[in-house]
Copies of this chain bind each other. A is one copy, B any other.
Amino acid sequence: MPRPEILETFANPYSDRDYEIHMDCNEFTSLCPLGGIESDAEELAQLTGGAPDFGIIRITYVPAELCLELKSLKLYLWSFRNDGIFYERAVNRILDDLAAASKPKWMKVVGDFNLRGGIKSVITATYGAR
C-alpha cells in the first residue's frame, strides 16, 4: 500500500524565487494488478505469472513554501513495491500524494514504464498551471 504519510518536507530555502526541481527515480517497481483488483498481488503473481512492473518516475515541480525531502520520497516510492496497481492510477496517485504533501506552485509526474508485451507506456499528469 502506498504510504503518503512517510513523505517529509523542509522549508524552501529560496521561497522568494520561482525555481524548478526535477528528480528521476530510476528504480520504481510495483506489481501488475490481477483481475483489476488493487490489493497485495504478490502471492498471486508468483503462482500465476503476473508480471512485476518496472519504470522511472520523473517528478518536476516549482516549490512554494515546502520542498520534498529526498530520503522520504525514496521510502514513499518503495512503498509501492508489493502493491498491484495500474500505470494510470499509480502516476495520478503519486501526483496527488506529492502535491498534498508539498503544496507546490506547479508539479508534473511522469511514469516511464519498461516494455510489457512489446509495448512501452509513458503516463504524464500535471497539477496547477505554469
State whether the Cβ of A35 lies closer than 8 Å to any Cβ in chain B: no
Chain B residues closer than 8 Å to A21, beta-carbon distance: 88, 121-123
What B residues does A126 contact at CB under 8 A? 18-19
- Chain A contacts with B in 72-121, Cβ cutoff 8 A: 73-75, 78-79, 81-82, 86, 88-89, 91-92, 114-121
Contact A22 B122 (CB under 8 A): yes
Interface SS of chain A: mixed
Chain A interface size band reads 35 or more
Q: List 17 A-B contacts (CB under 8 A).
A: A10-B36, A13-B92, A14-B88, A14-B125, A17-B125, A18-B126, A19-B92, A19-B125, A19-B126, A21-B123, A22-B124, A23-B120, A25-B118, A26-B120, A27-B52, A46-B78, A82-B82
Residues of B with C-beta under 8 A to A51: 117-118
Mask, A34-52, CB within 8 Å of B = 1, is 0010000010011001011
Spell out A's residues near B (CB within 8 Å).
Answer: 3, 6, 10, 12-14, 17-27, 29, 36, 42, 45-46, 49, 51-52, 54, 63, 67, 70-71, 73-75, 78-79, 81-82, 86, 88-89, 91-92, 114-126
Give every chain B residue within 8 A of A10 (Cβ-Cβ).
36
